[in-house]
Amino acid sequence: MKRHLPFVVVAGWGALNGVLLAVLAVYGESSMVFWLWGGAVVLLALVALAVLAACRSGPDQHVRYRVPDRGAGAVVPAAFGLLLVALAFVYGLWLLALAGPLLLVAVALAVRGTTAREE
């Protein structure tokens, strides 16, 4: 139980949402609302399951950590690539022709593991 407390917190919180949603059903609302909030409750249940899986596979508290930084150089080109994708919806899909190569650069950097030296 102690080891699974993170799961209990997330699952309990999702369940509390479910209870409040059930109360709303008593009052009645448009069906869209139940899809919306029901979807959120399902999402939270999935989060709880992910936390449960993580809790079962490792200790609750840590003495050893992974601090990954391989390929961090890919983040900035990836973000600018996504920016161009978003702007393509404003200024036309031709921007995807620019976004594509940029995202490919990001993938290449990630695969190569390029990271700026922080020391």
Partner 1 sequence: MTVTPPTAKAVTGGRPVPPSGWLGWVTSTDHKRIGVLTVGTSLVLLLAMGILALTMRAQLAQPEQQLVDTHTFNQLFTIHGSGMIYMVVTPFAIGMGVYLVPLQIGAPGIAMPRLTLLGYWLYALGAAVMLAGFATPLGAHADGWFSYPPMADSIHSPGAGSDLWIAGVFLATTGTIVMGWTVLWTVLRKRTHGMTMLRLPLFSWSMIATCLMVIGAFPALLAALGLLAVGRADPSIFDHNVWNIGYQHLFWFYGHPVVYVMFFPYLAAVAEVLAVFSGRRFFGYQGTVLSLLVFAALSMSVWGHHMFATGQAANDYYSLTSIALLVPAGVEYFSMLGTIAGGRLRFAPPMLFALAFIPQFLIGGLTGIMVGTPVIDYHVTDSYFVVAHLHYVLFAGSAFGLFAAVYFWFPKVTGVMLGHRLGRLHFWLLVIGANLTFLPMFALGYLGMPRRVSTYAAFEGFGWLNLLSSIGAAFLAAGVILFAVNVLWTLRKRTLGRAEKAPDDPWGGHTLEWATSSPPPRLNFTPEHPVPPVTSFAPLLDLRQRQEVTAVDRSPS
| Residues in CB range of 17: below 8 A, 6 or more apart | 37, 40, 41, 44
33 binds partner 1 (CB under 8 A): yes
Select from 49, 54, 104, 111 the one that contacts partner 1 (CB under 8 A).
54
Distance CA 35, CA 47 (A): 18
At its nearest, how many Å lie between partner 1 and the CB of residue 76? 6
* Buried b or exposed e, range 45-64, using 16+ CB within 10 angstroms: beebeebbeebeeeeeeeee
Residues making contact with partner 1 (CB under 8 A) = 2, 5-6, 9-10, 12-14, 16-17, 20-21, 23-24, 27-30, 32-33, 36-37, 40, 43-44, 47, 51, 54-55, 58, 60-69, 71-76, 78-80, 82-83, 86-87, 89-91, 115-119
